[in-house]
């Protein structure tokens, strides 16, 4: 519909309008878990840190690794692999903490590695329910889309869906 309307304008204006439509994009921070690439919108990332000393907390869910002092504030540390019920691997020098923020909530997520910041045009994002979206079942509840950039597939995660999910809100260990 939008392209058809642009075709009715003068030739110079339609080319400019088409370029503007294609240039609408958002920045995403790409990270990996289990050989899959995922991303959060950059405006939800407070920082990327090396895995530092985490203070254990008793009687919490097994995927809560503890807490850290994050620039003067106490933040919970969640191992994303454990949260998603995935195979646990030992941490290595590429392991990172993503400080993810949505509204007032900040949680540090342990991920396998962080690769880069990418610009994702709206036209490259597919709905997670479409056939071309190769979103793992365990990521579906938290995915907002699937971006195909060149031959690179990236699952776009929704910070609010993850941080405010029922599972994430149940920190205490089931006794």
What pLDDT shows up at residue 109? 96
Consecutive 10-residue averages of pLDDT for the chain (175 residues): 38 45 79 92 94 89 91 91 88 94 92 95 87 77 91 92 88 54
Which residues fall within 8 angstroms of residue 72, CB to CB, at 6 or more apart? none
Which residues fall within 8 angstroms of residue 50, CB to CB, at 6 or more apart? 96, 97
Q: What is the DSSP string of 93-130?
A: TT-EEEEEEETTEEEEEEESEEEEEEEEEGGGEE-TTS
What pLDDT shows up at residue 25? 86
């Amino acid at each position: 519909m939008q392209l058809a309307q642009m075709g009715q304008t003068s030739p110079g204006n339609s080319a400019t309008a088409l370029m503007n439509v294609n240039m609408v994009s958002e920045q995403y921070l790409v990270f990996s878990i289990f050989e899959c690439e995922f991303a959060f919108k950059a405006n939800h990332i407070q920082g990327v840190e090396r895995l530092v000393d985490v203070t254990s907390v008793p009687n919490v869910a097994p995927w809560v690794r503890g807490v850290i002092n994050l620039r003067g504030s106490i933040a919970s540390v969640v191992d994303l692999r454990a949260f998603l019920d995935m195979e646990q691997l030992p941490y290595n020098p590429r392991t990172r903490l993503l400080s993810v923020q949505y509204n007032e909530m900040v949680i540090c997520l342990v991920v396998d590695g962080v690769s880069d910041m990418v610009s994702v045009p709206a036209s490259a994002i597919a709905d997670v329910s479409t056939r071309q979206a190769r979103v793992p079942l365990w990521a579906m509840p938290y995915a907002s889309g699937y971006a195909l950039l060149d031959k690179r597939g990236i699952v776009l995660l929704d910070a609010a869906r993850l941080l405010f999910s029922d599972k994430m809100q149940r920190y205490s260990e089931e006794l």
